[in-house]
Amino acid sequence: MGSFAVLWPVSALVILALGVLAGCSATGKVAGILIDSRGRCSLTHVQVVAWTVLILSAFAATLVASNFDLSKAKLSTDLLGLMGIAAGSAVLSTGVKAVKDAPGSAAKVARDGTAVPAVGTAAATTIRVKFAQIWLEEEGDFADRVVSITKFQNFIFTLVALATFVSLAMSVGGLPTAMPENFLALLGISHAGYVGGKIPDKK
């Protein structure tokens, strides 16, 4: 019923379009699905959306390309592990943010619209949503002014993981059955660093 190489991007676009509609209905912005409760562009949202789109679209494309042969569209343990790491990281990072957003918290959270004072040579500014926030600090006087190294490393690992998944899927013409050895462990360590970096309050 068609080749995987053609059906996969079509399936991905359909799922992505649904995400855009959901984001628009919530925030009025095309990229609204990437914006968190603080009004910031969130790395966690980017990761969950990316893995959901890629894995579900690959599953759908494999199913259609094989004339709905379920034996050809099996979700391997490694793929479940990928989604588990992304989802688990999302739950933990959201939990950390919820604690910091609670009344009485000492955290200096830089929500959309927050005024950030001048620091050194950096002029006073007001926080506004932008894509670069996925690797910038989100708390303290240096929010949106410096790169969060734990977020940046996790962003890079995510790009590598996504590229690896796409490469494997295209090479086998369907859902990959396995990721490279120790790949999930390495990705898990990266996510642990990302979540851990959110815990200390930034001044």
Task: Kindly report, residue by residue over 76-134, the tens digit of the pLDDT.
Answer: 999 999 999 999 999 999 999 999 999 988 888 889 988 888 877 778 888 999 999 99
Domain-wise residue ranges, the chain: 4-198
pLDDT at 117: 80
Q: What is the pLDDT of residue 40?
A: 95
- Would you state the pLDDT for residue 37? 92
Q: What is the pLDDT of residues 5-41, one digit of tens each?
A: 999 999 999 999 999 999 999 999 999 999 999 999 9
Rounded mean pLDDT of 134-150?
Answer: 93
Contacts of 115 (CB under 8 A, 6+ apart): 124, 125, 126, 127
Supply the pLDDT for residue 116.
80
Rounded to a whole number of angstroms, the distance between the first and last alpha carbons of the chain is 57
**pLDDT reading at 136 higher than 60:** yes
> How high is the pLDDT of residue 177?
87
**For position 1, what pLDDT does the model report?**
56
Going by the DSSP 8-state scheme, the letter that residue 30 receives in this structure is T
Q: What percent of the chain has pLDDT over 70?
A: 100
pTM: 0.91
Chain mean pLDDT for the chain: 93
What is the band of 170 on the pLDDT scale with cuts at 50, 70, 90?
Answer: very high
Interval 31-47: pLDDT, tens: 999 999 999 999 999 99
Do 54 and 44 touch, CB atoms closer than 8 A? no
pLDDT for 105: 87
Spatial CB neighbours of 44, under 8 Å, sequence gap ≥ 6: 36, 89, 90, 93, 94
The phi and psi torsions of 125 (rounded to 5 degrees) equal: -150, 175
